[in-house]
Amino acid sequence: MSGIGAAPGDQVSITVLGHLPEVVPGDDIAGMLAGAARQAGVRPGDVLAVAHKVVSKAEGRVVRLADVRPGDEARSIADATGKDPALCEVILGESRRIVRRRRSLLVCETHQGFICANAGVDASNTAEGTVVLLPTDPDASARRIQHALSQAAGGRVGVVITDTHGRAFRRGLVNVAVGVAGFAPVLDHRGGRDREGRMLVATDQALGDEIAAAAGMLIGKASGRPAALVRGLRTAPAPGTSRDLVRREDQDVFRAPVGADGVVD
C-alpha cells in the first residue's frame, strides 16, 4: 500500500457541502449529493463523507413509534432500562443480539455487523415520535452515491457513509464508516518498514474511519450540512466495503473464551 494515504507535506482539505433541503423518503439522495458536490468543485480522487441519517431518511428507514407494537421481550427490556417499550422493540428488530446492558444503556450487534448503542436507532434530527435506523445495506447505499458522484466528477470518487459510535475504553463519540464505496478502507502495512528499518507485522490503518472522524469535526449535528469532501488523500481503487473495518469474531480477544489467568485460548 505504498503511496496510499497522506504523506508528510501532503495538503489534505475538508470542504463541507452546502445545505441540503429536508430529506424525505423517496428523495434521490445520490442526485442531491452529486449536485452539491458539483457546486463545491468535486474532482476525481476526492472522498465524500456523508452522515447516514440523510441516506436513511431517503431510503425510508424512519419508524413512527406509535405504529410499533412491542412484544414481551421489548417490554421486559423497557422495564429494566426505563426506555420506551416501542423503542426497545425497534432496537431488537435491528439487532442480532444484545452485547451489553447497563441501566439505560443497550449495546447491540446490528444485522450489518456493527456493535453500537441502541443498534444505531436514533431519535435526533427527526420528527417527534419517530426514529431513524441505519441503512439496510450501507455499502450498497454508498455505491449508488459513488456512481452519481463519479459521473459528476468525471472520475473515481470515494464515498464514506458515517455514524457516530462510542468506543470501548475511550470516552466520547466519534464518526466511523458504516458504508464505503470506491476505495479500500483498510490499509495493510504489514511487510513494510518503520523509520528504523524494522518490519511491520501487525499494522492495519483504518482509513475509512479516519476519513469519517475527520469529516465529523466539521459536519454539524443540526447544521443541515451533512456531507463533506475530503481532498488530498491517495486512496487505493477498490469496490470498498465497511465489512473490512469490522474485526472478525475469531480475531477478537474480547469475545474469545478467557481462562482464569486472563489468557485467551
Hey, where are the domains in the chain? 1-60+134-247, 62-133
Domain 62-133 adopts which CATH fold? CofE-like fold (3.90.1660)
User: Which cell numbers hold the place of 62?
Assistant: 424512519
Q: How many angstroms separate the first and last alpha carbons of the chain?
A: 32
Q: What percent of the chain has a predicted confidence (pLDDT) above 70?
A: 85
User: Which cell numbers hold the place of 109?
Assistant: 450487534
Indicate whether 117 pLDDT > 60.
yes
H or E, element range at 68? none
pLDDT digits (tens, 9 = 90+) for 33-43: 999 999 999 99
Indicate whether 264 pLDDT > 60.
no
Domain at 1-60+134-247, CATH homologous superfamily: CofE-like (3.30.1330.100)
Looking at residue 167, its pLDDT comes to 86
Burial profile 84-102: b = 16 or more Cβ within 10 angstroms, e = fewer: bbbbbbbbbebbeeeeeee
Q: What's the farthest any 2 CA atoms get from each other in the chain? A: 62
Indicate whether 2 pLDDT > 60.
no
Is the distance from CB of 213 to CB of 174 less than 8 angstroms? yes
Global pTM value: 0.89
